[in-house]
Chains A and B, each alone.
Chain A
């Protein structure tokens, strides 16, 4: 995972969860972010799809259990698309 992808995912997550980007790490998850419920999870998925122009499969969405996992997934999909 590159720093750049993580930064971008983090800034999307900051918008969605309403917390400062600086407080978000690769380890941040539904356990550490209070707002991260199922509706916000959907919002995060939609924002990521829109931002990176990728299509997440239901199986992918289940894997998105931390910000680090989201960033890794985005990179995987982007490199597959190239």
Chain B
């Protein structure tokens, strides 16, 4: 077994589980025609051992699958051409394996050595015949600007400047020709600076030095790229720097095989290309669903409590803040964030809302599932709620069990394998190609706010284990008072506009309402509502009329913005209580159906009223006030004003 002696190999970690057996399994599934399972095992093999040898195995089996199941696996086909000045062939299997892991079946055309200029200028070239979706222009400084790379110290300043300008003009011309002949995307490598400039530290004392001129070319390359649709700069110089120039380069392979990149970094080159290919292919994630415990903070909120969890500006909490910043950056690119956590809702919400170390707050999440249901089910619901396909989700959880469960149930979801060390969490998110974007619209920038506003308005009840949980979470405060001068206009307006939750749909003008308030036995109430999301204003009206022993409900309505959160019960309970206080024995009300008021149909029945009669206009319901138990729900803080104001005595007109 090649992994049996794990301490001798740098890449075989404890997570590596018997890849030779996995290979045998893959071959068996292919032979048996179970291509779906074969494809899942291939993905697993690549996760466990993303190395050159594995990549060779992967590509040969991917070719098998491609021949046998074209179109059957849900892969996006993508044709990529690579124009180059160095050996890229060993990178291709790594690239195809990475692409497969992102749901892409990549077909690669590699141009001949240093023929990139002809290939781009000649409309009949093999490049254009291949009809790629995207082209990588991977050219090294040493080939495209040899004067600037070697013997630079021998070059007069004007000649050096001219050489830099010549390189820029070249790129401008090639890219212009490319755009004339092709609509494909073009990814242009920036030029790398020498790790040891000819003149040593002296080089950096001037912008006209070797490094300065290469930087100048790179700036110009960005400008040129920005001047064309679908032309993108890949910062090769920064890529090399990120991994360390000394590590990245292998002079032996360069001199013997024209391969400048060391064996251990070929995968990094492939992954950098993927950061363009994934967004170009559309296989991006639109939503990142995150776990809470040991993901957004260190520790378990249900056990460690607010004081025990680790998140804040100091180590170790700082690692989690680093992740928060990475997530905030995603949301600034239009990627929605969501929470899926097994927790008690109240515990988790307290931390999300109040923990001083949290940079992420509930408003940053477009959807939340905090419950004990399995995560695959929660992810399905999140996709549904946000109106995206399940393949648009990415999922991040520190717990390998949860990740595997999601992978098994929902293979379309991008599952991010969080590293063991929380200090590496942020990089795992930032380096995930599924979150790359090549353009950013105004809508992208505002998407999180738009979803947040929508969610808050509609009330995201599914986040909560029960409706009661949700109602308590809302922290509603209602204020009930008889109509006043100040509220008269709004009350009349509501009777005229409200269609859905309106039991009798009687329309009244301001003067009519004002007149009512002067009549003995008539009572006009309004209700205002405030909750944690803000003030909803005056949202409900009830008009009652005492007749003998009974009190008749003339009008009962609620703005559609606040239907279904029990403020209607509070209003009805007040009608009943106040009528009982005035000595009435019964509360009586009609439901008069219209095309739009179905939401109010069962209202009286649900609140303990007894059906009396139904005629052609509607049905009449009665509540016995002597035995009535109707109360304002305990999750609504209700304030009743006596409303003794000028308006109550008269009205305007």
Q: Which residues of A contact B (CB under 8 A)?
A: 4-5, 7-8, 10-12, 15-16, 18, 21, 39, 42-43, 45-47, 49-53, 55-58, 61, 78
Contacts and interface: CB of A to CB of B under 8 A. Distances in A.
9 shortest interchain CB distances as A-B pairs: A11-B2, A15-B53, A53-B10, A49-B263, A47-B52, A47-B53, A8-B2, A46-B263, A15-B57
A47 to B, nearest CB: 4
Contacts of B519: none
B645 to A, nearest CB: 82
Given A8-B2, A50-B264, A53-B10, A15 B54 contact: yes
Contacts of B493: none
B4 A51 contact: no
Contacts, number: 79
Interface string B233-258: 00000000000000000101101110
A62 to B, nearest CB: 10
B56 A15 contact: yes
B51 A51 contact: yes
B5 A50 contact: no
A2 to B, nearest CB: 9
A63 to B, nearest CB: 14
B141 to A, nearest CB: 23
Nearest to B12: A51
Interface of B: 1-2, 4-5, 8-11, 20, 51-54, 56-57, 60, 87, 89-90, 250, 252-253, 255-257, 259, 262-264, 266
What secondary structure prevails in chain A residues at the interface with B? helix
A12 B9 CA distance: 12
B337 to A, nearest CB: 36
Contacts of A11: 1-2, 20, 53
Given A12-B2, A16-B56, A50-B52, A43 B90 contact: yes
B90 A46 contact: yes
23 contacts: A4-B5, A5-B5, A7-B4, A8-B2, A11-B1, A11-B20, A12-B2, A15-B57, A18-B57, A42-B257, A42-B259, A43-B52, A47-B56, A49-B262, A50-B11, A51-B51, A52-B9, A53-B9, A53-B11, A55-B250, A55-B252, A58-B252, A58-B256
B266 A46 contact: yes
Contacts of A43: 52, 56, 90
Contacts of A16: 52-53, 56
Contact of B256 (A7, A15, A61): A61
Given A7-B1, A7-B2, A57-B252, A52 B8 contact: yes
A39 B89 contact: yes
B2 A46 contact: no
A16 B52 CA distance: 8
A50 B263 contact: yes
Which of A5, A16, A51, A55: most chain B Cβ within 10 A?
A51
Nearest to B3: A8
Given A8-B2, A46-B90, A58-B252, A78 B8 contact: yes
A79 B329 CA distance: 47
